[in-house]
A and B are shown apart, each in its own frame.
Chain A
Amino acid sequence: MSKLNSYRTGPDAAGRFGIHGGRFAAETLMPLILDLEKAYRAAQADPSFREELDYYLRHYAGRPSPLYFAERLTEHFGGAKIYFKRDELNHTGSHKINNCLGQILLAKRMGKTRIIAETGAGQHGVASATVSALFGLPCTVYMGEVDVERQQPNVFRMKLLGAEVEPVSSGSRTLKDALNEAMRDWVTNVADTFYIIGTVAGPHPYPELVRDFQSVIGDEAKAQILEAEGRLPDTLVACIGGGSNAMGLFHPFLDDADVKIIGVEAAGDGIETGRHAASITGGRPGVLHGNRTYLLQDEDGQITEAHSISAGLDYPGIGPEHAWLNDVDRVEYTAATDAEALDAFQLCSKLEGIIPALEPSHALAHVAKIAPDLPRDHIIVMNMCGRGDKDIFTVAQMLGVEI
C-alpha cells in the first residue's frame, strides 16, 4: 500500500475506514441513522453548536485537562520522559463526558426526549446519566449483570443521577450484551429515543462523531506538549476497549509522521490462553453492532466472550477506525495482561499519588515495558483516561484484601 497523504480524512461517504466501518444496521434504525448523520453535518456547520459544546466542556466538565509530567514514574523507569494527559480529572472521572456532552447537544437539536446508553465499567453510563440530568432528559443505561456486580459504585452513582440501570442477563452479561440490549431498546423506541453510544463503534456516523467529540483530548495535548517541551511527543500510548479515549488522543497526531502511536488492548490472562479482549491482536474482521471491524469470534462467526479484569475493555470488538489504522500500519496495537495492569495500577498509586482506572493501567503497563529502554529525551504522552476509585473493590479482591 502506498503512503497516504492524510490519515485524517476518513470515513468515506459510506462510513468506511478501508474495509472497516459501514452501516450494518436493521432497517428500522436506518432512517434514524441517516437523520443523525444529517443532524451532525448541520451541527458541524453551525458555529453555535461548537460554542455551546465548548462552553460545557470548559465550565461543566472542567476542560482543558492538564498535561502532567509524571516525574517520579519517569525516574523509576529511568528512561523516557512520561507525561499523563489527565482526562481522569474531568467531571465524572473519565474522558467519557467529552462525548456525552456532544451527543446530548445533538439529541436536543434532533428533538429527542429520551436517552439510552450502554456501559461496561460504568464510566460511560455515569457520564450519560450526568448529561441527562443536566439537560433534564430521562435516561436508561444498559449494563451487563457481571459488570453491575463488579462496578457497584458506578451503578449507585447512575441511580443517584436519576438514571434507570437495566441489568442485562443475556449472553456473556458484559458490555457486548449491554450493547445488544440498548440496540433492542432503540429499535423499539426509535421515534423519541437518542442512543448515546460510548465508544468509536456502531453504525456510521457514530465512530466519526464520537472520535470528533473525543479529539479535544489530542488537540489539547498537542498544544500543551508544544508549550511544555517546544516539540511534539515521540510516542503516544493509550488503552483500547472500543477505543474512544485512544482515538481522541491519536487522531490529531495521525499526520505527524514522527509521532509513534501505540494502542494497548487487554490481554486478560494472556493472548495465548484465549482468555483476553484483544480484538486486533487476537481476532479477525467480522460484522457486529453496526460495523465491520476486528472481532473475537470462532470459525463459524459466533462472537466469543472477551475476558479482562477491566470492565471497560471487556469487549470483543474495536472501533473500525482503529482496525483501519492497524491495517495501514499507522498505529501499533499491542496488549497488556490483567497482572501487568494490576502492577501498573499499584505503582502509579504509590509513586504519583494517582489511582488510575484499570483501563489506563493497561496503557501504563505498556509504558513500563518500553520506557526503561528509551533515551531520556524521548517524550511519551499517555492518556490517563479514567480514575480508579470505581476499581478499588476489584483490585482489593485480586490482591486478596477484604474491604
Chain B
Amino acid sequence: MTTGTARIEARFAKLRDEGRAALVTYIMSGDPDLETSAKIIAGLPGAGADIIELGMAFTDPMADGPSIQVAGLRALKAGITLRKTLAMAAEFRRQDSETPIVLMGYYNPIHAFGVPEFLAAAKASGIDGLIIVDLPPEEDEELCLPALEAGLSFIRLATPTTDDNRLPAVLANTSGFVYYVSYAGITGAASADADTVATSVARIQKHTDLPVAVGFGIRTPDQARGIASVADGVVVGTAFIDALRDSLDDTGAATAATVDAVLDRTRDLAAGVAGAKRDGKS
C-alpha cells in the first residue's frame, strides 16, 4: 500500500492519466464540531475532492483571513486538539486508502506535541503531507527534514514574493507538490487572476518537475476552471468554510444542512476543475 509522499504522487499520476487537475479541498478539522467534521471529511472524495487538506486549528493564525480565523475558533471551542485531528484522519483512512490527506496549519501545536512523537502519530494516522505556514526553508531542520525522513511530504508555499533567486531554496526540500499562493496576503482576501497565475506557474515549473497547485482567492467553479487550465491543482478553502458557516444555526451549531452545504460546494468546484481545458497537459 502506498502511503505518505507516494500516495500523493500516485494521486497526481492518476489525474495526469485522466488529463485533469486536482481539486484540493481545505476544511478546518473539528469545525463546527467533531462529529460533523468527520462526516464532511468522509464525504469529500465522493463529492470530487482529490486531496484533502485538513486545517489544524490555532489560536493565532497569522496568515489567515477572518473566515478561517473564526472556523479555527469554532473548532477549538468544540474541543478539537491535534491529537483528535489525527484520530479523525485515522478514522477516514480506514475507509479510504487512496485520497491523500495533508495537514495544514502553524508550527506551535506540533512543537508542543513534540516533533518525533507527532511524526510517528501522523504516519500511523495515515497523514501524507504537511503544510506549515510559519516554517520557511530557513527553518528546515525543525520539521521539514525529519518529516521527509519519515516519508511524509513537506509541501512548501511559494508566493508572488518568492523570486527566481529564492525559488531553488524554497523548492529544495519540497515534495508531493508545490503550493503556489496566488497573491500576497491572507486567505480569502482577494481573487486569483488566471493569467497572472499562469505566468507564475510556468516560472515555478522551470525550476521543478513537481505538480504545482494554486491556492488563495479561488472561490467559484469558473475561477477553478480558469486555474485548473494552467496549474496541476486548485486549492479551495475559504469558500467551503463560508458555505459551512452559512449553514449553521443562530448559536453556531451544525444543522441538517451543514454536511451537504460543504459537499455541494465541493461538487460545484469539482465540475469547474473537470471542465478545464488543459492544453498539452494530458
Q: Which residues from chain A contact B170 at a C-beta distance below 8 Å?
A: 27
Select one of A190, A285, A302 contacting B59, CB under 8 A: A302
A399 within 8 A of B: no
Chain A: interface size category: 35 or more
Select one of B66, B69, B110 contacting A301, CB under 8 A: B110
Bound state CA distance, A29 and B159, in angstroms? 9
Report whether A31 and B134 are in contact in the complex, using a CB–CB cutoff of 8 Å.
no
Report whether A25 and B76 are in contact in the complex, using a CB–CB cutoff of 8 Å.
no
Residue in chain A with minimal CB distance to B216? A28
A286 within 8 A of B: yes
- From residue 15 to 67 of chain A, which have CB atoms closer than 8 A to chain B? 22-32
Report whether A26 and B62 are in contact in the complex, using a CB–CB cutoff of 8 Å.
yes
Bound state CA distance, A288 and B60, in angstroms? 8
- From residue 134 to 160 of chain B, which have CB atoms closer than 8 A to chain A? 134-136, 138-139, 156-160
- From residue 167 to 191 of chain A, which have CB atoms closer than 8 A to chain B? 170-171, 176-177, 180, 183-184, 187-191
Q: Which residues from chain B contact A297 at a C-beta distance below 8 Å?
A: 108, 112
Bound state CA distance, A338 and B177, in angstroms? 51
A227 within 8 A of B: no
A28-B184 contact given A188-B189, A300-B109, A301-B82, CB 8 Å threshold: yes
Bound state CA distance, A292 and B108, in angstroms? 9
Q: Which residues from chain B contact A27 at a C-beta distance below 8 Å?
A: 136, 156-159, 161-162, 170, 181
Give the tally of cross-chain contacts (CB within 8 A): 121
Report whether B157 and A187 are in contact in the complex, using a CB–CB cutoff of 8 Å.
no
Residue in chain B with minimal CB distance to A285? B111
A188-B136 contact given A176-B60, A301-B113, CB 8 Å threshold: no
In the complex, which of the residues B82, B112, B135 has the most CB atoms of chain A within 10 Å of its own CB atom?
B112
Bound state CA distance, A14 and B181, in angstroms? 25
Q: How far is the CB of B280 from chain A (nearest CB, A)?
A: 29
Residue in chain A with minimal CB distance to B135? A24
Report whether A303 and B136 are in contact in the complex, using a CB–CB cutoff of 8 Å.
no
Q: Which residues from chain A contact B133 at a C-beta distance below 8 Å?
A: 26
Q: Which residues from chain B contact A29 at a C-beta distance below 8 Å?
A: 161
A157 within 8 A of B: no
A229 within 8 A of B: no
A289 within 8 A of B: yes
Report whether B163 and A299 are in contact in the complex, using a CB–CB cutoff of 8 Å.
no
Q: Which residues from chain A contact B62 at a C-beta distance below 8 Å?
A: 26, 180, 183-184, 187, 289
Chain B: interface size category: 35 or more
Report whether B111 and A26 are in contact in the complex, using a CB–CB cutoff of 8 Å.
no
Report whether B63 and A184 are in contact in the complex, using a CB–CB cutoff of 8 Å.
yes
Pairs A-B, 4 closest by C-beta atoms: A301-B112, A301-B109, A188-B185, A28-B159
Report whether B134 and A301 are in contact in the complex, using a CB–CB cutoff of 8 Å.
no
Q: Which residues from chain B contact A24 at a C-beta distance below 8 Å?
A: 107, 134-136, 139
B207 within 8 A of A: no
Bound state CA distance, A256 and B2, in angstroms? 60
B81 within 8 A of A: yes
| Residues of A participating in the B interface, judged by any CB pair closer than 8 Å | 14, 22-32, 170-171, 176-177, 180, 183-184, 187-191, 285-290, 292, 295, 297, 299-303
Q: Which residues from chain B contact A28 at a C-beta distance below 8 Å?
A: 63, 157, 159-161, 181, 184-185
Residue in chain A with minimal CB distance to B134? A24
Q: How far is the CB of B203 from chain A (nearest CB, A)?
A: 15
Bound state CA distance, A177 and B61, in angstroms? 10
B186 within 8 A of A: yes
Report whether B59 and A184 are in contact in the complex, using a CB–CB cutoff of 8 Å.
no
Q: Which residues from chain B contact A288 at a C-beta distance below 8 Å?
A: 60, 108
- 9 A-B residue pairs with Cβ-Cβ distance under 8 Å, sorted by A, are A26-B136, A27-B181, A28-B161, A28-B185, A170-B66, A301-B82, A301-B108, A302-B76, A302-B108
Q: Which residues from chain A contact B166 at a C-beta distance below 8 Å?
A: 30-31
Q: Which residues from chain A contact B113 at a C-beta distance below 8 Å?
A: 300-301
Q: How far is the CB of A238 from chain B (nearest CB, A)?
A: 26
B26 within 8 A of A: no
Q: How far is the CB of A288 from chain B (nearest CB, A)?
A: 6
Select one of B112, B139, B186 contacting A300, CB under 8 A: B112
Q: How far is the CB of A151 from chain B (nearest CB, A)?
A: 22
Q: Which residues from chain B contact A286 at a C-beta distance below 8 Å?
A: 108, 111-112
Bound state CA distance, A156 and B96, in angstroms? 58
Q: Which residues from chain B contact A287 at a C-beta distance below 8 Å?
A: 106-108, 111, 134
- From residue 99 to 127 of chain B, which have CB atoms closer than 8 A to chain A? 106-113
Bound state CA distance, A187 and B110, in angstroms? 23
Q: How far is the CB of B81 from chain A (nearest CB, A)?
A: 4
In the complex, which of the residues A23, A26, A171 has the most CB atoms of chain B within 10 Å of its own CB atom?
A26
B58 within 8 A of A: yes
Residue in chain B with minimal CB distance to A305? B59
Given contact pairs A184-B63, A303-B60, a sample of 8 additional A-B residue pairs in the complex whose CB atoms are under 8 Å apart: A24-B139, A32-B161, A184-B62, A187-B62, A297-B108, A297-B112, A301-B82, A301-B110
Report whether B136 and A23 are in contact in the complex, using a CB–CB cutoff of 8 Å.
yes
Q: Which residues from chain B contact A303 at a C-beta distance below 8 Å?
A: 59-60, 108
In the complex, which of the residues A23, A170, A295, A302 has the most CB atoms of chain B within 10 Å of its own CB atom?
A302
Interface string of B38-82 (1 = CB under 8 A from A): 000000000000000000011111110110010000001000011
